[in-house]
Amino acid sequence: MFFTYLRRELRRRRKAALVVASGLALGIALVVVVTSVSSGMGRAQEKVLQSLYGLGTDMTVTKAAEATTTPERPRFSFDAQDDGSGEEQSSDRVMVQGFQTLASSTVGEVGEQSGVADAVGGLSLNVVKVSGEFTRGRFQQEGQGGEGGGPGAGQSSPQGRVQGGGADFDVNSYTVYGTDVTAPALGPLTSSEITDGRAFRTTETDAEVAVADSAYAQEKKLETGDTVTVKGTDYKVIGIATASSGDAAANLYIPLKQAQTLAGATDEVTTIYVKATDSQRIDDVKSTIRKNIPGTTVTTSADLADTVSGSLSTASSLAAGVGTWLSVVVLVAAFLVAGLLTSSAVSRRVREFGTLKALGWTSGRVTRQVVGESVVHGLVGGALGIALGLAGAYAVTAVGPTLQAQLGGGAGTTGPGGGGMGGPVRQASAQTLDVALTAPVSLTTLALAVGLAVTGGLVAGAFGGWRASRLRPADALRRVG
């Protein structure tokens, strides 16, 4: 009887049902779109952060900055050439980024802390290469003369000037990152994809091999199988890596032991990349490491996120603030309108409900009937709202508006090329990265939409049910005739 009457009443009042459902649909659609866009912005921020320190990294550990540390100035020396033939000479200077390192044993200490799933060390280097040639000048004698007959009598010193000669040198700088090849799943290299050749093998811990960033390889015209020379050591390029977004963490990647040898930093690392066992324990792990391993700076992804500015940060704040509040206001308004419309509809059905009560329907049964109709309105509105929300999210993803993320150095900056996580980050970390915005719709968002639809129906039903419960059979008799 309940469902039969429900179906009949919904068919009779299609327009009214559509009005109520449409109001709820607009509110629910806005919630779906805002939630999806916020999720897309969160993913965009994660993509930016992953491009800085690598996929899976929750925090980094670096040596605490020392105010008394004076960076060593690079020095270059060249051999003198007696013949002045102009032979090209070159000299490399390999420097540790930030000029501060931790002992490799610290990696093990960090890995033993409670809540740490994995810890991997890396060494970031800056290489400055000076190459060119000297050209010896030629002495041009202008003249020689004298008076007197004896040898040397009255001789004057030859006069002239040096013509030509000089030096022509190029200065080229690039970055090298020493990666622990035994742990390929953690560290900056994970933010790049091997697009040509292969990655490091876990057995190549001290091999003279390198992976080149695609942009650097294109600039230097490097291909897989070519050789690059760093401080007199030839490295075979085994692969080309393309950064997933932004610039690469380094121009060249080589095994950690090789990087330590080049820099004269045996058993030293600049950065320890840490993965926590649970994302909810990151703050606790950070506190534990700082307490148990003094003299270190621990920087989490949340700390680095505070350094991201630009339109991405602005849009994210708007979505989290204005967008959320706008959704709430529209949703509340939709609920109130639905409730008022349902209450008004009940008022127009006074004779109907009064007659039903005269026939023996209880107030509770009438209320349940009104609530049932309202829940159906809510479900229809939910379906329409989800459809509109999906269309809106798809439109945002299809258009793919580009947002800009300005990356600034944070507390963990380690020097040239350093970034907020204290490790080798994008060389262009002070520049702007372009990130395409998407609006992914998750199952959680759809479940939220369904919940809002049912809630909207119940709210509307509460208004109408309260109104219907107050009706008396006498009201129907007064309106007969």
DSSP string, 2-46: HHHHHHHHHHHTHHHHHHHHHHHHHHHHHHHHHHHHHHHHHHHHH
Q: Show pLDDT as tens, one digit a residue, over the chain (481 residues).
A: 566 666 666 666 777 777 778 878 888 888 888 888 777 776 766 666 655 555 567 788 888 876 555 555 555 555 555 554 556 666 678 888 876 889 999 999 999 999 999 999 999 998 887 766 656 656 566 654 444 444 544 455 556 565 555 555 667 789 999 999 998 888 888 878 899 999 999 999 999 999 999 999 999 999 999 999 998 899 999 999 998 766 677 899 999 999 999 988 899 999 999 988 887 788 899 999 999 998 898 888 667 655 555 545 555 555 555 556 666 777 777 777 777 777 677 666 767 777 777 777 777 777 777 778 778 878 888 888 889 889 988 888 888 777 655 555 443 433 333 444 444 443 333 445 666 777 788 888 788 888 877 887 777 777 777 766 666 666 555 655 5
178 found inside a domain = yes
Last residue of a domain, one of 267, 294, 321: 294
Both 281 and 371 in a single domain? no
Residue with tokens 């960090």: 110
Domain boundaries, position 14: 2-53+310-478
Both 315 and 460 in a single domain? yes
Residue-wise over 283-311: b if at least 16 C-beta within 10 A, else e? Answer: eebbebbeeebeebbbbbbebbbebbebb
The reported pLDDT for the residue numbered 192 is 85
How far apart are the C-alpha atoms of 54 and 124, rounded to whole Å?
Answer: 14
The reported pLDDT for the residue numbered 409 is 45
304 found inside a domain = no
CA torsion sign for 372, 374, 380, 385 is: negative
Cα within 13 Å of Cα(200), Cβ side: 27
Both 256 and 230 in a single domain? yes
Both 257 and 346 in a single domain? no
How far apart are the C-alpha atoms of 355 and 472, rounded to whole Å?
Answer: 9
Last residue of a domain, one of 294, 325, 340: 294
238 found inside a domain = yes
Both 277 and 352 in a single domain? no
How far apart are the C-alpha atoms of 214 and 241, rounded to whole Å?
Answer: 6
Both 327 and 423 in a single domain? yes
Nearest-10 Cα torsion for 46, 51, 57, 61: -120
* Of 284, 300, 291, 290, nearest in space to 59 by CA: 300
Residues pairing with 141 in the sheet: 160
Collapse the DSSP code of 164 into the 3-class scheme (helix H, G, I; strand E, B; otherwise coil) and give the result: coil
Q: Which tokens hold the place of 396?
A: 């945002």
305 found inside a domain = no
Domains in the chain: how many in total? 2
The reported pLDDT for the residue numbered 417 is 36
